[in-house]
Structure 1
Amino acid sequence: AASHAMVKAVLSADTIIVMGQPVGGPPPERQITLAGIMGPRLGRRDGSTKDEPFAWPAREFVRQKVVGKAVTFELEETAAAMNKSFGSVMVGGENLAHAIVEAGWAKAKPPMGNNASRVADAEVLQRLEGEAQAAGRGMWNTKPGAAAESVRTIIGQNQFDAKEVLDATRGVPQALIVEQFRDGSTVRGFMTPSNRWITVFLSGVTCPGFKRAEAQGEPDVAEPFAHEARYFVESRLLNRDVHVLLEGVDKFNNFYGTIQHPAGNISAELLKVGLAKVVDWSAKFSKDPELLYKSERVAKERRLRIWKDYVAPVRSAAAAASSEFPGKVVEVISGDFLVIKDFAVPPVEHRIALSSVRAPKLGRRDEKDEPYAYEAREFLRSRLIGRKVTVGIDYIRPLPNSTSETERVFASVLEGHNNVAVALIANGLATAMKHRGDDQDRSLYYDDILQAEAAAARDKKGVHSEVTPPPRHVNDLSQSSAQAQAKQMFTMLQRAGRHQGVVQHVVNGARFKVLIPRQSVIVSFALSGIRCPTTGRRDGEPGESYGEEAYLFTRDKCLQHDVEIEITGQDRIGTMIGKLWLHKRDHAVTLLTEGYARMSGRDASSELEEAELQAQAKRLRTWENYDAELDAMRAAEAVAEIEIASASGEEEVTVVEMVDPILFYVQAASAPKQLDYVGGRLAEMSKAPQASFRPKVGDIVAAKFSQDGEWYRARVDDRKGDEYRVMFVDYGNSDKCASADLLPLGSNVPSLASCPAQATEYKLAHIKLPRDEDLLYEASGMIQDVLGANGGKVRAKVEYRERSGRHHVTMIDPSSGESLSAVLLRNGLAKLERRKQDVEGLKDEQEKAKRAHLNIWRYGDAADSDDEDKFFAQDVAKAKAAKK
């Protein structure tokens, strides 16, 4: 009689495994070899024996035709000793044996005995074989080399490096034919088209398994629900085409990964029905660990299968009152002790010890660290500092002998769904506390902690290994006793350029102690170009306004964070001075933007100026009482104080670069002689062989001008990758150069570096330009006409000089004796600065343009005092940059 079943797997072209309906557990199975045919034999999966020709494509033909489909079968005979049955199988009304032979993937066998139906069936099979052979189908393909090409080269698991395969395929799902499930969470199969035989453990998941029996020959002993878990995955995935995302690898060449299937995530489905548990340490491999935890929670709440006796843990009464809160890690004190700031208003900092964990102790001043103490703290710092976490308080213990704390809070800290303590222990950087059986003061994740410790001990990680890490030697140059040594190391640290560092301590808003790991030193470090208000002193002396706020702001942003620093100077007590970047942003700019600092000293850049202006405009913090008009008046007075008359009165200069209609670079009459000397030395130097050179911004170098291929002195203004923007200091023009077109002005030609720049920045005094592009274009043309008529020569008188070195001058056309400022004012193409309305002669020229309604005066007054900055700019170059 015919029986109904589902095809579970295809072993070869002539053998399949079918299964019945499940009743209270996994269903019965039967291996059926198709009667009357014989297919080519497959080689062993480990590659120790090869396939017969066409065995693999024959198996694939049958697999793709019947796996997972309903069939009917009739058994003809059973070989109990061989655990085999022989019979016929019908799929979709078609005789499977006939279909295989007709496609050319098996041979007909002569009938056994004189049974009429067998003889008749054998005749049909022989006829189908003859037709397939005549047509050259399947294994009867006569094309040269076809038989050899059909034989796979199987790459066994011990024939490749799993780490190399993981690196080569990372992030890209790989095709996989599932051949076997050792248990519900361990799959074996062939990667295609490479034919690698691999074992994959599902990332973050473990199912009940099978243990070997003590007596030889006995069946493996199944853990509870092991059979159900294996049936669950076999019925859905065995012999199916899937994709596997390889995510990790262990030392036995086994992969960890996630099976991808259109029907869903098999790992999540196992967890939802209570046939698997989440494994924290391998869940970190998974792309979506949150899905795994949520799925497991569903089974726990419903007490399904392996969770049938599950009882949710409870916190101690004292801890339950405090419960759970989100926060941000602001300091890692040791491998098991954190400072976490909550998100309350105002926020509160909590000192939290990790529940059920003991990390190696850090030594005090005169003590050595215990082995792996630094590694444990660094593990937490690098992963948690500044990150959002969830704190679940497990228990609270009193500290009767402590003078600073009355109690200590022990908690489970989660980053996302990753338990910090479990991760720490899984890496061998801490051990689990051994609680008594009746001690309920323990982590809610204590079982996971114990499992992680067992795995770390088995793999001899960290504190479980036989290797003791070498002691750390860090030279603390921040101590007052190390001032002389700090000064000795300054030059080396300065020349090295940018350093990777870790902020060890925040002194105030702009001063730090920074560890430079590569040099194994700690330095005192202060931000250049700014000053933060001071904090209160320990002796009770109060600090400046916003000093404490600036300190807390910087502490919150920078403490124990990875930073970059560049050392540009040093003060008299050995403190390094320079720039500090946090997440690629200059922290001095951040402080200025937030109003926690003000510019100071000579290191103020345009970026710092812009940041300070933003804070001034918003009247933030230290600028809360800022008065723009009063500040402008004081600035004007400061400029007046530094005004100087030109010692030689008027002098003849040559304009070599016009930046805009009132800003120029000029050369003195003595420049040609100096430039002949500089040019000759540069030509000699450029012929000598040079090592590769990567200058810093601000360096004076030799640069090849792209227009003529000649070498000139230049200042590096910016760098993007291998491209540098430079300004030629003897001519005032700019260009972009590759590093190959730059040379250092080294000690072998000292005069090149020391010879003053021959181009001086001159700006027409007392006037400003409109922002209107058309008017600027007209003004530029007018000034170019004057300069062109005189070969760029003008007479100039210095009115005053800024601290930055820019000269404010009166320029006179030598042909007409008229100032260029007067030309622009008379034509309505410039306007007097408000504080210089009384400049003799220039005011009359401006009045003429106003009366004639020329250009900026065409609608009457160009702008009232409130809108002045919308229409005029003191520095057109900056105005254009701001507009962009």
Structure 2
Amino acid sequence: MRQFGTISVGKRDDIGETLIADGLAESQRHRDDDEKSARYDILVAAESIAKAAKKGMHSEKDYGTRNVNDLTDPKKAKANAGSLIGNKKLKAIVEYIFNGSRFKMYIPSENCYVVFALSNVRCPQPNPSSYARSQGRAAEPFGEASKRHARLSVHQRSVEISCSGMTQGGVVTGDLMIGSGANKRDFSLELVMAGLGYVDQRRIDYGEAPKTLVDAQTSAKAKKLNIWSIEQKKEEVQAPKSKEEEEVKVQLSEIRSGNHFFYHVVGDEAIKEIDDSMKKFTEENGTSGAPCDVKVGKVVAALFDGSWYRAKIVEKKESSTVSVLFIDHGNLDVVKVSTHLRPLSDELGTDKIPPVAKEAELILTIVRSTEDDYGLDAARMLNDVAWGKELNARVYYSSEGKSYLTLTDPSDDSKSINETIVAAGLGRVPKQSEVNAISKKVSSGSEAKKLATKFAKAQEAARTSRSGMWRYGDIGDDDDEDF
């Protein structure tokens, strides 16, 4: 059953009467047998006076439609980032609560809507909205409690925000103050003190989190308030370390992204052996396909650019095609089974000649997908600085057939290519927890941590100068979330 009531504020006995008298609302029409407010006759009289005075909605004046700039769209948000980000404080009205630290706001001075998130604090996810495009994300413990606290504290209220950055997804980040005068308070601090939010671990790792927030979190943890009342996940069991780090000269044979590639070891005699053997195979068999066993994982001969190469079938596609990995070079292709595949000679099997292309990733260097502009720029930079050169590779460890390494150009060994990509703002360093996990896989864990510290300095310089992905300020973990 819906309940109705009268709201009084200060000298105003009835907020409803004030709205009606100003022509901003109408009285509810009732049937004779309906239960009515004791002040109903007063409300009807106020409406009659407002109509006679042609106030508000009763006016015959055409006020037109007010267009508000909707900056919840990522492209529009980035285009207008300059007018929002800075040291100025802005008044805003909270229109919607996504979770305890993420909101949709209206900023009157800029006449725009934005999605705003607290820059230093994260909150557990609540139940997905019934209007959300995806219902797959499960609620986290205390997500609803955190959202409810935000709704009771800031929803449909005037707040003060300071915008310090923008995520790749167009979310404005910064600080949020609620209340006024002597009662003004930091909403981030309030969440952390109540155990309904936690300080972004990356901010703590990089020394960027305000001490007041860190101290508040420490206190909430000690008291086991809300999210801290649940036992935290233990760190994963230590992975086996590589026996020793390896240094080799390499040449790239395929680039997949800004940190993922395949390489040949310079001086590996097997490279020439397999090249010569496959040239002979092409001469003997021509370029026509032949029936062969098409199973995922099977190594066959696949036609590429008029020649046969060893390839592993990685996926069956539609229309009698398969996706293959050319194991001696690292490139992928989709080929037609009937015309581009044939069985491989026994003497060319991987048990006789192992694949000569080695898969690798730049250690401690995270880049975006090549579908993203900054990810594509990272891949282009790797191509520009590494392709066609003999490079020094230091392999720190290997896992599931992939080596994790640094690349250095012998002509300039003062900085690795890993660091160069991070310094350009096209890559970033993993969180400290990930660095710790990686260091356990390396024979010299302290060396890995020193490397991470060095890369972090390059990252900070890129962030300060707003290079690459840092162009709009700090990036968040939730760039790709649906709102």
TM-score normalized by structure 2?
A: 0.47
| Structure having the larger proportion of residues in strand | 1
Asked which structure has the greater CA Rg, the reply is: 1
TM-score normalized by structure 1?
A: 0.28
Q: Which has the higher contact order (CA 8 A, sep 6+)?
A: 2
